[in-house]
Structure 1
Amino acid sequence: MRRTIRDEGFTLIELLVVVVIIGILVAIAVPVYQRYSRNAWEKSVVSDIRGAITAVEQFRADHNAYPNTASLQPDDFFLEQYPSGPATTTKVTLSDSVMLTIWVNWPAGTSYRICARNAAGGYRRFLYDSVEGGSIRVRTVTNASVCAYTP
């Protein structure tokens, strides 16, 4: 009488094949996730710049002048009166990790630039120039000198 022996479990080759397949899937998924995260960070920066443009233009409508230059802001802030004065109720609201700067063309005070980046999203800076108007441009720089007006 022959007795049948049932093999139970997986062979080493089968386990290795499964590990390789999982590794390939992870290698594909990680860059895709990073790209989606970066795009989300960039969209939050562009959204905050549009909000800042609205706040600056509202400030100009209320005070007939642009606000003081606002240095690098890591959090929500109020715009100040031009050329110097107390803070107003015109608020610029920022998303998490967004750093934003408003430069007013001094001493004329006839135009402004808004430069922003997401601290979590690398060195890409976004620039809006009120003279050019239109869309927000991307600047890949490591400092804010491209955003500031040169005297």
Structure 2
Amino acid sequence: MAEGLAVVRKKAAARVPRGWESVRTLLSRQEGFTLIEMLAVILIIGILVAVATISVPRFLADASKSGLKQTIAAVQVAAERFYHNHAEKRYPVGKSFANEVALAIDVE
């Protein structure tokens, strides 16, 4: 009897055209994502958002400090240039220095 059942299955398989799937296979196929897969994706996105939330303000603060350091360096260069360009060899003070620094920073 087992041999007869095997023959019937072979004939049934031969009748289904190649590349076609049986109705049973189509109905049993799962489509979509499982709950575990969805939770894993949400967890990964949450971790990325947490890292970005912590890192971005620090990067902005570092950028601000870097900008201030560049401005201070430009003022220092302008003061040194003033010192070397004037015969009395003194550092500038007052409004004239502020004007020269503003010009030096704008030029650079």
Tell me the TM-score range normalised by the shorter chain. Answer: 0.5 to 0.7
Q: Please, what is the CA RMSD of the aligned residues?
A: 3.1
Q: Does 1:3 align with 2:15?
A: no
Percent identity over the alignment is 34
What's the counterpart of residue 105 of structure 2?
93
Matched-pair contact (CA < 8 Å) for 1:55–1:90: no
Segments of structure 1 that go 5 or more residues without pairing to the other structure are: 70-79, 82-86, 95-151
What's the counterpart of residue 94 of structure 2?
68
Q: What is the count of residue pairs matched by the alignment?
A: 80
Task: Quote the Cα distance in structure 2 between the aligned partners of 1:49 and 1:26.
Answer: 35
The structure whose Rg is larger is 2
Matched-pair contact (CA < 8 Å) for 1:55–1:91: no
Deviation at 1:38, TM superposition (A): 1.6
What's the counterpart of residue 51 of structure 1?
74
Matched-pair contact (CA < 8 Å) for 2:75–2:101: no
Query: What residue identity is the alignment partner of 1:8?
Result: E
Task: Quote the Cα distance in structure 2 between the aligned partners of 1:89 and 1:33.
Answer: 32
Q: Deviation digits for residues 19-64 of structure 1, max 9, x if unmatched?
A: 1221012201332232222212211211110110110222233343
Task: Quote the Cα distance in structure 1 between the aligned partners of 2:38 and 2:53.
Answer: 23
SS in 1 for 2:103: strand
Task: Quote the Cα distance in structure 2 between the aligned partners of 1:29 and 1:56.
Answer: 40
Query: What residue identity is the alignment partner of 1:60?
Result: Y
Query: What residue identity is the alignment partner of 2:72?
Result: I
TM norm structure 2: 0.56
Query: Which structure has more helix as a fraction of its residues?
Result: 2
SS in 1 for 2:24: coil
Matched-pair contact (CA < 8 Å) for 2:78–2:101: no
Deviation at 1:91, TM superposition (A): 2.2
Change in CA separation of 1:3 and 1:50 when aligned onto 2, cut-off 3 Å: same
Task: Quote the Cα distance in structure 1 between the aligned partners of 2:102 and 2:23.
Answer: 90
Query: Which structure has more strand as a fraction of its residues?
Result: 1
Change in CA separation of 1:48 and 1:3 when aligned onto 2, cut-off 3 Å: same
TM norm structure 1: 0.42
